[in-house]
Chain A
């Protein structure tokens, strides 16, 4: 068995649909979902509710990867950024459909569904979110 399959499958709700969660005590939103709220801790227990992010946000910093990991070697140079989602959480993701020279701090982006990795030519394909410049905001 390819060892990564179960680990990926478990996170499909997050990778496909940005399902985070919200603390029922202070209403803060988290992505990825947390077991408990780090601000409310025991008050948040049993009160962490699923919360889906809409997928739009703003680049707060970025880099252009020129030397990439094995799974990404064919894509270099590629931009990757930390994005502050409109709901608050910050997420790391690749930026695609955009000339990398045009990526900048403050840029509005939205998620797009892409292949992220695969277990070689014979293994499973792992899909998930990347970001692209907002088309229809």
Chain B
């Protein structure tokens, strides 16, 4: 297997982008990544794009070809493939791009992730997101996506004494980081009181425990590591990639509070990179809900199971903590255009490892982790990146 590096990144603004279409968003992110990388269109061997539900959000499937077309590559007939794994679609697309270069089949690949979620109404968006859950045995009976994570949260509170305030601290921290990110949907700090007293969505989770509905796209350019320096001064190497699956329905899991798919994916990535969690300088984790960040830092091995809430309370995960988590603002504050999220996480880590993160820069960051989850934990993909 060949080493692979990220040589270019691009991101659109995240938010309610009423004047931008699906096509405009993905073209913008792709163009930014390509310009950032120093490659030209003719150098691209293949494209991968992650989108959870373009069919329900904008009524369009077959978006592999659409993305190649709208980006101006239709006459070059570049192989273009869509990858889907609910909210992990972006992370999975990245992994497929990585494999295609590592295998020796391709040298340069563009990976994109996108979701245009605001072209449908709020309840339609909620229903579409619920298709990531088990439609027949969960959603049919009236459980919502926040409801599933709320059940994880309540069990976590029951077993480990995690508090509503600790959940709120996740939101406060991520908004603080997001306030420093010009691409974030909410560039605004919130208080612990606001986070604790927000409108109830699914007890014990309030509105401020939930990531928003977001339009946005992200893109990266991957290149065989041996050729990376031809195009780029600061290639960022992929040193580990892991993926795991689990039962579609939350109720069938071994343990309600543990995302075994995360544990599996993380171990796979750590093993490949020959590192352990202590070697990681920062992480972008899948905080679709505040409880998800607490579970993530446990399941990724940053803290012991059950100690995630305490870790947040002790400020271990803040920008100046010992393990900064979600420096971008996370899904909570940066926004969560579901198919784009996994790729946007890579963009943030690459930006940090290049030392270009401005006011939210983590000092001397060398190794970063991304953690992207689909559904309530049925799919998880973890990547490790290193500045070389």
Contacts and interface: CB of A to CB of B under 8 A. Distances in A.
Q: Do chains A and B touch in the complex (CB under 8 A)?
A: yes
B234 to A, nearest CB: 44
Contacts of B251: 82, 90-92
B76 interface: no
Interface in B114-162: 123, 126-127, 130, 136-144, 146-147, 150-152, 154-155, 158
Interface string B191-204: 00000000111111
A63 B154 CA distance: 7
B250 A92 contact: yes
Interface in B210-246: none
Given A67-B202, A69-B123, A82-B256, A105 B140 contact: no
Contacts of B170: none
A82 B151 CA distance: 8
A130 B127 CA distance: 21
B255 to A, nearest CB: 11
Among A61, A75, A78, A93, find the residue whose CB has the most chain B CB atoms closer than 10 A. Answer: A61
A67 B146 contact: yes
Interface residues of B, number: 33
A27 interface: no
Contact of B256 (A60, A64, A94): A60
B249 interface: yes
A19 interface: no
- Residue among A11, A68, A94 with max Cβ neighbours from chain B (10 Å): A68
A71 B142 contact: yes
A113 interface: no
A61 B154 contact: yes
A67 B202 CA distance: 7
A116 B152 contact: no
Interface of A: 7, 11, 32, 60-73, 75, 77-78, 80-82, 89-94, 105, 116-117, 126, 128, 130
Interface of B: 123, 126-127, 130, 136-144, 146-147, 150-152, 154-155, 158, 199-205, 249-252, 256
